[in-house]
Amino acid sequence: MIANLHPGGVALLENTRFIAGEQQNDPEMAAVMANFSDFWVNDAFSAAHRAHASTVGVAHLLPSYGARALQAELEALEAVLGRWQEPSIAMIRGAKISTKLDIPGRLVGKVDSLVIGGAMANTLLAAKGETIGKSAFEPELIYPALRIMDKVRDEGCRISLPSDVVVACELTANPSSLRTKSVQCVRPDEMILDFGPRSVSAIAELLCASPFPV
């Protein structure tokens, strides 16, 4: 993968998830990367949670450190988590609920309201029996997510899902089929793209009521 790297040289790898063994945290791949290095430095906060060869595997083989951007992210996170004010709100959204499944449980007792968006919301809407058409979601995680959401509600935390959404039949720039409608009216040939204006207003009201939103 890498050969003849001289002192002071730079080896630039394309997205390491394209390399076989990366996502499986393959020890051979980690050993190859560690073999030409003296230290391992992580400056990618957004990828730090992934147990991959380039994030976890190498870190077990070399003296490891966090760089400035990672430090700044952790300090900001600690500042938020360490001084909650009431009422407080957390917003979670993204394509995959699988990578964020344990976050709601960790927020229990810390926030009063939890807003779920993105494809994560689609998974929960489907679990509630709503028709989400061709929307991106993770059907295998419907029931685990529901159990966690039930636990969060049992602790007195309000969960906010979109009540209206922007939909289209095709994923293109400025689709002619773009519509805004209630979540109960999504057709089988449509996909949910974003919050609708009614949902945005509801979130804005929650944020205005929170002295320290997250």
Are 96 and 196 in the same domain? yes
Q: Is the pLDDT of residue 102 over 60?
A: yes
CA dist 116 to 63, 94, 122, 171, 175, Å?
38, 9, 9, 22, 25
Segment 38-86, tens digit of pLDDT: 899 999 888 888 899 999 999 999 999 999 999 998 888 777 666 666 6
- Average confidence (pLDDT) over 83-108: 70
- Least confident among 36-40, 89-93, 118-122: 89-93
Assess whether 103 and 69 both reside in one domain: no
Read off the tokens for 158: 């309000």
Domain stop point among 21, 54, 78: 78
* Pair (163, 114) in one structural domain: yes
Q: What is the DSSP letter of 170?
A: S
Q: Are residues 105 and 200 in the same domain?
A: yes
Phi-psi region of 52 (alpha: psi -120 to 50; beta: other; left: phi over 0): beta
Full domain range(s) for residue 59: 1-78
Residues 18 and 98 reside in one and the same domain: no
**Residue 124 in contact with residue 146, Cβ under 8 Å?**
yes
The last residue of a domain, from among 78, 95, 120: 78
Asked if 106 and 49 count as a contact pair (C-beta separation under 8 A), the reply is: no
Q: Are 201 and 174 in contact (CB under 8 A)?
A: no
* Structure-token pair, residue 15: 């997205």
What's the pLDDT at 169? 95
Mean pLDDT of 178-187: 95
Q: What is the CATH number of the domain that holds 65?
A: 3.40.50.1260
Closest CA to 131 of 183, 198, 169: 183
Q: Which of 16-20, 115-119, 144-148, 176-180 has the lowest mean pLDDT?
A: 144-148
Are 94 and 67 part of one and the same domain?
no
Does residue 51 lie within any of the structural domains? yes
Residue 213 · residue 87 · CB < 8 Å: no
214 falls within a domain: no
The mean pLDDT of 202-207, rounded to a whole number, is: 86
Average pLDDT, the chain: 84
Helical segments of the chain, H only: 27-35, 68-81, 103-107, 118-127, 142-154, 197-209
Residues 24, 88 within the same domain: no
141 in the same domain as 107? yes
- Secondary structure letter of residue 7 according to DSSP: T
Q: What is the model's pLDDT at position 36?
A: 80
**CB of 36 closer than 8 Å to CB of 5:** yes
Same domain, 97 and 145: yes
10 and 103 housed in the same domain: no
| Side chain identity, residue 132 | I
Considering only residues 85 and 141, tell me which one the structure prediction assigns the higher pLDDT: 141
What distance in Å separates the CA atoms of residue 144 and residue 140, rounded to the nearest whole number? Answer: 8
pLDDT at 179 over 70: yes
Examine residue 40 and state whether it is found in any structural domain, yes or no: yes
- End residue of a domain, out of 27, 48, 78: 78
Number of domains within the chain: 2
Whether the per-residue pLDDT at 211 is higher than 60: the answer is: no
pTM score > 0.75 for this model? no
- Please indicate whether residue 88 or residue 54 has the higher confidence score (pLDDT): 54
Looking at the fold, whether 201 and 119 belong to one and the same domain comes out as: yes
Same domain for 178 and 126: yes
Model pLDDT, residue 64: 93
SS3 57: helix
Classify 196 as helix, strand or coil: coil
In this predicted structure, which of 26-30, 31-35, 56-60 has the lowest mean pLDDT?
Answer: 31-35
